[in-house]
Structure 1
Amino acid sequence: MTSNLSDRMNRYLRADVQGMHGYAVQPSAGLVKVDTMENPFRLPPELRRALGERLAEVALNRYPAERGDLLRDALARHAQMPEGCSLMLGNGSDELISLLTLAADLPGNVVLAPVPGFVMYEMSAKLQGLGFVGVPTTADFQLDGPAMLAAVREHRPAIIYLAYPNNPTANLWDDGVIDAIIEAAPGLVVMDEAYQPFASRDSLDRLKRHEHVLLMRTMSKFGLAGVRIGYLIGRTALIRELDKLRPPFNVSVLNCEAALFALEHVQEYAKQAATIRAERAKLFDALAALPGVHPFPSEANMILVRVPDAARLFAGMKARGVLVKNVSGLHPLIANCLRITVGTPEENPQILAALRGALEELHA
């Protein structure tokens, strides 16, 4: 007797997986795409040609091996990795988060993070069967120090994630509160610095001072979102254990080569980041001047904006050719908030015009 596909799925696939929502990616063809915090700049034509010629020489018939080793060394130099530490590559930060959760998969273990925050911390924990504790920030998106420390004492988390700057709120945390959490943490503390190229501070010194601190970064915001390179730095003994869980060829040889090329031209990406920071300041001031619009201070390449009606303004901006992210449903603290990636000098006036037009329509 055979069963239909639905019966097979219900019997052999996890019910919680079938009941969850997948990570949504919005179609963006034909739109000004400012919804996913990408670097909006491509390489100059001469560097694109040079990269194409270099990739054409890659041995696609061979598994990645030593190219990954070379990339680890290059990233260690780029990040100024401290003595006594090692670096682990991931297929983006998402894979590293999944592997960290897998490594901590022991009965009773808990993952803790402030909320609103990056959704993959909670998703990875729940998929692996770990508990997740989200501690709300204050109304102005700062860490609630007493609440965080109380949660650490109560839940004894195996992993604490602190995004620095945070996504989607784009702010840095108070350094004194961070240090108190690190001191109180019984397990690992992961400083997620995905947006480090746009921030005024980093956590490299914390990595040097604390053996249980891990530093996670990505080349996605650097300018290689399509290449999918994440990396994790920590004490060698710790990274050695975590690296056992990494698929042996998780980063393709093409991705390795593109990342190596980018690190050889780091000044071009640094120039792009400087332009984005300058555009962020101009965009922030222009948003603040719009009636009913409240932008929050940003240390990333995005600005969180509270608006009168996020759903209608999102739709109105999209109808005018600009795609932003409506994050209102992620947490009550960011109700009626849109997240806007900083675009190019040509795109940012289009963003403002679309929002201005949508606001006028809203109040008509």
Structure 2
Amino acid sequence: MSPLLVRADLRTARPYDNRPFPSAGAPVAPLNNNESPFPPRGRHLEALRDAAAGALATTNRYPDTDLTALRTALARYVGHDVRPDMVWPGNGSNEVLLHLLLAYGGPGRTALGFGPTYSMHERIAAITGTRWAAGARGGDFGLDAETASAAVRAHRPHLVFLCAPNNPTGTPLDPATLDAVLSAAPGLVVLDEAYVEFSRLGSRAGMLSDHPRLVISRTMSKAFGFAGIRAGFLLAAPGVLEPLRLVALPYHLSTLTTAVALAALERSEELLAHVPGILAERRRVRDALVRAGHDVAPSDANFLFFDTGGDSTHVASRLAAHGVLVRDLGPAGWLRVTVGSPDENDAFLRTLADSSS
């Protein structure tokens, strides 16, 4: 097909790439995707296998379109008086955000975000033909109430995207900032809580009943270690979620994904038992980076954002050559590293020190 037939706004776009730097063989420390370093093991793995086997016995039939059991289990997991009709599940948080922008964005509409932040918000806006307005964060990567609300008043966006905590910086979201944006926004306020299980502030889902234009996105990819399963969900007032049925493809969540996600939610406390260990490793890696002379942004997530003191692209490329993968997302000089297993974190710190010498 002639490239001239591709939409004009996509002709210069580039596909999503999470590994721009080549590595020699299998990476020894894949710390570029904010994944959990710990897959399900032992009896937990057996329970998930049993759930998958049960689902395979019914795969000649289409999945449940209402996803009642999964919405009920997710509402129970979230708590905060969230009801099943306030939950919209999908194939990871990116898909449910796509549904949201298909329904509430589009040509002639605007979405606002504050960079550096999660790149897929802007990418999904572009896919749906939604204009992206870029607000700025402070020098410490924080976002104060005055700056955020001023940007909202200036752009009058149909959707505002905030991350709590922010990706890639790990910065916590000040509750006052969220309050200010909710007061100023004429449309939906989308709060991305992909890393909320690692956050000391916890979820803002308790605000949903008082703020009918608030939408919260969540995922099982991170703390649950389900990046390969693809299970995410939105939380919002039922009236906000109902139009998503118009834009979602039929049977968009498979029977297998649903069954395994249900089995994981039944064992959520056990599957999330590794989170304190990751937080302890986050403190250890942060302290080591600071001792080595790096500036490190405050993190409320399972990753750290640090200043290389030089050419971050060069540093990331040298790390990758030794099998240590990190992300170079900007601004210049800064890199994001996921907190992995102790061995992976040691490999990162050792290789970074060798690359800097």
Shorter chain as denominator, the TM-score bin is over 0.9
The SS at the match of 1:232 is: strand
CA distance in 2, matches of 1:150, 1:289: 38
Deviations 1:313-351 (A, max 9, x none): 2122122221111123xxxxx221110000012221111
Letter in 2 for 1:274: P
Cα distance between partner residues in 2 of 1:251 and 1:341? 28
225, 228, 232: which one pairs with 2:234? 232
TM-score after normalising by structure 1: 0.90
CA RMSD of aligned residues (A): 1.8
CA 1:50–1:96 in 2, change beyond 3 Å: closer, same or farther? closer
Matched, 1:182 2:179: no
Partner of 1:320: 322
Deviation at 1:152, TM superposition (A): 1.4
Distance in 2 (alpha carbons) for counterparts of 1:68 and 1:206: 24
- Which residue matches 1:65? 64
The 5-angstrom pairing of residues 63-212 of structure 1 reads 63-65=62-64, 68-80=67-79, 82=81, 86-105=86-105, 108-201=108-201, 202-212=203-213
- What SS does the corresponding residue of 2:190 show, helix, strand or coil? strand
Which among 6, 14, 17 is matched to residue 24 of structure 1?
17
Describe the SS at the equivalent of 1:325.
coil
1:263 corresponding residue in structure 2: 265
Q: 2:36 aligns with which of 15, 36, 39?
A: 39
Q: Deviation per CA, 1:162-184: give whole Å up to 9, x if none.
A: 11001101111221122111111
The residue that corresponds to 1:298 in the other structure is: 299
The 3-state SS of whatever aligns with 1:224 is: coil
Q: Letter of the 1:358 partner, please give it.
A: S
Higher mean C-alpha displacement, 95-104 vs 139-148: 139-148
User: Could you report, residue by residue, the CA deviation over 1:26-67 in whole angstroms, capped at 9, with x for unpaired residues?
Assistant: 277511100000011011233223322331222222211179
Greater relative contact order, per chain length (Cα 8 Å cut-off, separation 6+): 2
Q: Distance in 1 between matches of 2:209 and 2:180?
A: 16
TM-score after normalising by structure 2: 0.92
SS in 1 for 2:336: strand
Matched, 1:13 2:14: no
Which residue is equivalent to 2:45? 48
- Asked if the contact 1:67–1:256 (Cα under 8 Å) also holds between the matched residues in 2, the reply is no
Check whether the contact 1:303–1:342 (CA below 8 A) recurs between aligned residues: yes
Tell me the distance in 1 between the aligned counterparts of 2:60 and 2:312.
49
Percent identical among aligned pairs is 35
- Give the Cα separation in 2 of the matches to 1:92 and 1:83: 19
Measured in 1, the distance between the counterparts of 2:355 and 2:212 equals 50
Give, in whole Å, the separation in 1 of the partners of 2:106 and 2:43: 51
Q: Supply the AA of the counterpart residue of 2:26.
A: G
Contact conserved, 2:148 with 2:180, CA < 8 A, in 1?
no
The answer for unaligned runs of 5 or more in structure 2 is: none
Decide whether the 8 Å contact of 1:219 with 1:228 is kept in 2: yes
1:14 partner amino acid: R
Aligned to 2:274: 272
Query: 5+ residue gaps in structure 1?
Result: 329-333
Cα gap change, 1:162 to 1:86, in 2 (>3 Å): same
Of the structure 1 ranges 318-327 and 275-284, higher mean CA displacement relative to structure 2 is found in 318-327
Tell me the distance in 2 between the aligned counterparts of 1:301 and 1:208: 29
1:208 Cα deviation from its structure 2 partner: 2.7
- CA distance in 2 between partners of 1:205 and 1:56 (Å): 36
Moved over 4 A (4+): none
1:106 Cα offset (Å): 5.6
Paired amino acid for 1:30? A
2:261 and 2:279 map into 1 onto residues whose CA distance is 22
Provide the secondary structure at the position in 2 that maps to 1:339: strand
Q: Who is 1:331 aligned against?
A: none
Q: In the alignment, is residue 287 of structure 1 matched against residue 289 of structure 2?
A: yes
CA distance in 2, matches of 1:66, 1:99: 15
CA–CA distance in 2 between the matches of 1:41 and 1:268? Answer: 13
Return the offset for 1:98. 1.3
